[in-house]
Amino acid sequence: MLIYIIRHGETNLNALGVLQGRLDEPLNQGGRDLAVVTGQEMKDIHFDACYSSPLVRAKETAEIVLKESGNDIPIITEDRIQEMDFGEMEGKKLTVMGETGKLFFTDSFRFPGFPGGENVQQLCARTQDFLKELLARDDDKTYLIATHGCALRAMLNFLYDDPSSFWQKNVPYNCCVNIVEGQGGTGRLIEQDKIYYSPDLIVDHYSK
């Protein structure tokens, strides 16, 4: 079993460096361009199934990658892998929360959560529930999963060499791909934050 987990392409809200969470923002042209290149570079991969967050930026990324890679399969939406619920902070920058907001990046597991939203522990629980359920199938299929930056880190947290480091030094770049190999019901991360486009195009909108 191989599972390719991709973060969506860039949106206008990404470019502004704000928390978009459940805001249903589409990709901008730069985000679509990254997804096209990524899909073209994955043309030799046959995907048996695709799961996506129900949010449009993730679904659009999955659609483009599947089209460009030559995979004509349906996209199954999965609520458990949608982005963190940022509650009252949706559409705002973390600086609004002062020192408490800094904890989200510097010490994520001590971050108390967003007012009216989720904390990291809750996000890990729901995203990992999905991934572990998929790994339990223990089949020979190849899957594409389209999700979000924070949700991706939460989903893979239990597979990192150092799970205490939530962000693994940075927010996943737009359209980066993480590859999990599944065998015997367990997973192993064999590629972390792989990009299929020029490194010159990497932009970190949420630099700590």
Answer whether 9's CB lies under 8 Å from 149's CB. no
Q: Is 10 a catalytic residue?
A: no
Q: Is 83 a catalytic residue?
A: yes
**Which amino acid is present at 77?**
T
Strand ranges (E), 78-198: 142-147, 177-183, 186-194
Answer whether 148's CB lies under 8 Å from 177's CB. no
d(CA 146, CA 122): 20
Burial of 185: CB neighbours in 10 Å, binned 0-12, 13-18, 19+:
exposed
Answer whether 181's CB lies under 8 Å from 188's CB. yes
Q: List the catalytic residue out of 60, 83, 90, 118.
A: 83
d(CA 26, CA 8): 10
d(CA 7, CA 24): 15
Cite the active site residues: 8, 83
